[in-house]
Structure 1
Amino acid sequence: MPLPLFDASVPVFLRYLERLSGLVHAAEERTQAQHGSSQTLLAAKLAPDMLPFERQVVIATNFTLRASYPLAGEPIQPYGEFPETFAGLHARIDRALTLLKALEPAQFMGAESRIVDSQAGEALVRLPGSEFLFQYALPNFFFHVTAAYAVLRNQGVPLGKADFDGFHAYPRKP
């Protein structure tokens, strides 16, 4: 029996939005500990042509609703406007968590074959629900969460695999 798309999406997004929130907290703590500017970390990039940390968090958060609401047969819920600050990122993540928790498994009945349209840069993606979730939405969500993690590691924020997935445990080095 195939995995219901609710189970493959909403709980995964909820878990990793919480992990993403932890990454934002770690970035904020690092900035405060070093008496630095929050803009330095928010604007940090891995490469000149990549998006900065703040945008990686925004896009990852957006993907949770861009994926879940169409699969549930519902219009994507508006976020509202949030400042480009650590507090704004926390508020954005909290809003996404609230909106995701409002979805019910019954709304995902038939989602496997429901056609979902999504903008992918300048391309239009049009896929049945299963393909949309497994081949497009989840990989893109994790791409942006991973990019956010990598930016912070590159900037010296003390993070490890356990901070990313919440399962691993390794001794912390001083």
Structure 2
Amino acid sequence: MSLSMYQASVPVFVRALNNLTHVLKKGEEYAKAKGVTPEVLLQTRLIPDMLPLLKQVQVVTDMAKNGTARLAGVTPMVFEDNETTLDELYARIERALDYIKGFEASQIDGSEARSVTIKIRGNETQFDGQTYLLYFILPNLFFHCTTTYNILREAGAELGKADFMGKP
């Protein structure tokens, strides 16, 4: 039995976004208990030249929604990147989840050879669907999920591997 493009993408994205929400909520609880304002938490970075927590979450949702849409051969829904609160970030994650759950397997399966062209730092980059998923979307999605986890962990939130991984 082979693994389909749908199976390798949408369920993985859904799980990652649900786990991201869990990690954020634990981080929020910790921040409240320690008197850290949400504004400070959202702007926390691991080091000065890395993106803050807020942007990490925005990138994760973009990877999931844009990846799903492009694999399906449609123009991705645009999110404005105007969130300023944790509640707005949770709503963004929910919008992304609703969007990607709206795609059928038939729209994505068979997209291995579909041409995907995106701009990376102003330059057009072309992929086939399989390369786009395996070597661009998934690594970026998990990098930014992991960085979100690490920001919250470094800030002191009591998180463990099980929080990041979630339940199978």
CA contact (8 A) 1:82 1:92 kept: no
Asked which structure has the greater RCO (Cα within 8 Å, sep 6+), the reply is: 2
Choose 75-84 or 148-157, whichever is displaced more. Answer: 75-84
CA contact (8 A) 1:19 1:164 kept: yes
Instruction: Find the aligned partners of 1:35 and 1:109 in 2 and give their Cα distance.
Output: 47
Question: TM-score, normalization: structure 2?
Answer: 0.93
Instruction: Find the aligned partners of 2:127 and 2:140 in 1 and give their Cα distance.
Output: 15
1:10-44 alpha-carbon deviations (Å, 9 max, x no partner): 00000110000111111211122122211111111
Shift of 1:80: 5.1
Shift of 1:82: 4.6
Instruction: Find the aligned partners of 2:165 and 2:134 in 1 and give their Cα distance.
Output: 19
Shift of 1:118: 1.9
> Aligned ranges for residues 93-108 of structure 1 at < 5 Å?
93-108=93-108
1:32-79 alpha-carbon deviations (Å, 9 max, x no partner): 212221111111111110000111011011100111101011110133
Q: Which residue in 2 is equivalent to 1:39?
A: 39
SS of aligned partner of 2:7 = helix
* 1:113 partner letter: A
**Alpha-carbon distance change, 51 to 86 in structure 1, aligned in 2, over 3 angstroms:** same
The Cα RMSD (Å) is 1.6
Q: Which residue in 2 is equivalent to 1:149?
A: 149
Q: Which residue in 2 is equivalent to 1:13?
A: 13
Instruction: Find the aligned partners of 1:128 and 1:35 in 2 and give their Cα distance.
Output: 48
CA contact (8 A) 2:10 2:68 kept: yes
> Aligned ranges for residues 150-165 of structure 1 at < 5 Å?
150-165=150-165
* 1:30 partner letter: Y
* 1:61 partner letter: T
Question: TM-score, normalization: structure 1?
Answer: 0.90
- How many pairs does the alignment contain? 168
Instruction: Find the aligned partners of 1:58 and 1:148 in 2 and give their Cα distance.
Output: 10
Instruction: Find the aligned partners of 2:33 and 2:42 in 1 and give their Cα distance.
Output: 16
Instruction: For structure 2, list consecutive stretches of 5 or more residues without a partner in the other structure.
Output: none
CA contact (8 A) 1:79 1:95 kept: no
